[in-house]
Amino acid sequence: MGNAFFVVWRESLEAFLIAGILYAWLQANDDSGPGRRALFGGLAAGVGLALLLGWALLGVQDGLSGNALEIFQTATLFVAAGLITQMVLWMKKNGRHIKSRLHADLSAAAERSGHLGVAVVAALAVAREGAETVIFLYGLAQGGDLQGLVVGSLAGLAGAGLTAWLAARSLARLNIGLLLRLSSLLLLILASALLMAGVDRLLGAGWLPPLVDPLWDSSLLLDDTTKAGSLLANLTGYRARPALSGLLVWVAYWGVVIAAQRRIARG
C-alpha cells in the first residue's frame, strides 16, 4: 500500500503540475472557451491512453500461462525499475527547464494546429506520466496485495491533488522542489526493490545462478518474512539471506545511478 501511495502521489503530482503549467500558458496566450476545452480534453485523453495501456497489460497477462506468464511478469518488474530510474534521472537533468519546454511545445503546436495542437500536447504530457504509473503499479501488483494497491493508489491520487492545491495557494510554505528531490531518492530506492524482486524471480526459476546462496543470514536481526522485514524488503529490496548474484546486481544498479547523477551534475 505504501509503495503504491508513493508512486501514484509522485506521478500524479507531476501530472497536476504539468496541467497547471499548461493552463497558465493558456490563460496568458489564449484564454478562450475553445482553448480551455481543448486543454481539458487533451488531459482527459492522456488519462484515457494510460488506462488503455493498463487494459492492454491485463489482456496480455490473461492470454499467457506457465513460463510465458512468468517471463512477462518478470520483464515488467525490470521495465518498471528502469522507467523509474530513467524518469528520476531525466527530471534531475531537465527539471529546471520543463516549464519553458512545455511552453515552447505548446506555442509551436498552437501555431501549427490551433486548439487541436494544444489538446495533443496536453494528452501526450499527461499520458507519459500515466503510462509510467500504470507500469509501476503493474510491477507492484506482482506482490499480490491488490486491495492495498487500490487503496494506496487512491490515497496517492488524493494526496497529489492536495499537494498541488497547497502549492498553488502557497500555503504552509510548501517547497515543491524539496519534495520532488526527496521523492526522487525514495523512487530510486523503490526501483532497486523492484529490480531485486525481478532478480528473485530469475533465481527462483533457475534462469540466474545464485553463485553463493546465502551469502549471509541476518534473519536474527531482521527476518524479511516478518511483517516489518517484509515491509522493508518491499520498499528497499532488503534480503535477510541474499544470493551473491542478487547482491552484485544491486551494487551494479546503484553504481550506475550514482555515476549517472554525477555526470548530470557536472554537465
Q: Convert the pLDDT of each residue in 213-229 to its tens digit.
A: 999 999 888 898 887 88
C-alpha R_g of the chain: 20
Task: Tell me the whole-structure pTM to 2 decimals.
Answer: 0.78
Does 246 have pLDDT greater than 80? yes
Based on DSSP, count helices (H) and strands (E) in the chain, helices before strands: 9, 0
pLDDT the model gives residue 173: 56
* Grid cell digits, residue 236: 528497499
pLDDT in tens, 90-146: 878 776 666 677 777 767 777 776 777 778 877 887 887 788 788 888 877 776 667
Looking at residue 168, its pLDDT comes to 67
The rounded distance, in Å, linking the Cα atoms of 223 and 88 is 30
Q: What percent of the chain has pLDDT over 70?
A: 88
- Return mean pLDDT, the chain: 82
Cα 10 to Cα 6: distance, rounded to the nearest angstrom: 6
Checking if the pLDDT of 16 tops 70, the result is yes
Residue 202's pLDDT is: 94
Predicted local confidence at residue 93, as pLDDT: 78
How far lies 40's CA from each of 37, 44, 139, 164, in Å?
Answer: 5, 6, 29, 17
Question: Which residue reads 499548461 in cell numbers?
Answer: 22
